[in-house]
Structure 1
Amino acid sequence: MFAATNRHKFLIALFFAALSTHSMAGDNVKLALKGHIKTKCGISDIENEIDLSKVNTKTVNFGFYCNSPFDISVSSVNGGLKNGRYIARYSVALNIPKVGLSLTGDSEKIKNNKSVKVIDKIPFKSNGEITITLIDKPIMAGVYKEILQINLYPKLIF
């Protein structure tokens, strides 16, 4: 009925050879997977103004979140509570127990502070506290002002 010619036999053999080569040769597929999560580091739920008019010491609690290791620095803009030329010094203690951070300093000594503390732990959600204690009692009438800066520098992990 059907007489296979040499050409047909060759095509059939070639077809089966192609099938068997494809089924015998395993392919390896490598997929490169990647993702990116932005660094986030910050202090939240903190009083922006600490009034030391009637107390010598004030402790303020705060929330803390950081999804990477970070560096931190604390600095005083004026070197103390300033009223004109008069400056009342204070001490500061910053604690974030989850990462083992405990920084202390005198406002005069941390004025324009450029030194940083390196924290290699990743705290994610945490809590901390800052305590301000007057060293010099303000004696002159008037308004005393100071800015205490806490700078966070998140670091990327490679």
Structure 2
Amino acid sequence: MYVKFRYIVSLDDFLAQIDYDYLKQLNDPQILIAQIDQPLHNFKLLTGRDLLKLYLKSEAIRLKVYDEFIVKSALDHIWITYSALQNKFTLLADDVNKINLNKIRARDENLSRIIRLDVTQAVNSVFEDHFFNGVKDFNNNDNNVGFGCL
């Protein structure tokens, strides 16, 4: 079966080719988090407009539209025209942000617990003591113990 490909050269062409049914079905924040692929240490709060922009960029790739102006104009047009989609994407962005903030909170709590670990290991040698319990004072050379002696 031969599918005729239509070149997209204007905003109207791009808006006509967008898969609006898929756009209306987006509702799982976990899937969106996987697609965003933003590391937690660089996390920034997302807006509904950011999520719509990600979708439109993927549609532009699918439709082979390389003009950023068309994509930005489509984003502005859809964001202003479809208030139901605007509300949906805003709520979806809130859900994504809550999930990411919970992940950051859990990560920070785990790091805090790790930092507070102060149980020393029972060992037989100075090397093992420094290896498992950490070197407390690098400048203290009592008993010839320092980095040069390890």
Q: Could you state the TM-score of these two structures normalised by the residue count of structure 1?
A: 0.21
The structure having more radius of gyration, on CA atoms, is 1
Query: Going by fraction, where is helix more abundant, 1 or 2?
Result: 2
Query: Going by fraction, where is strand more abundant, 1 or 2?
Result: 1
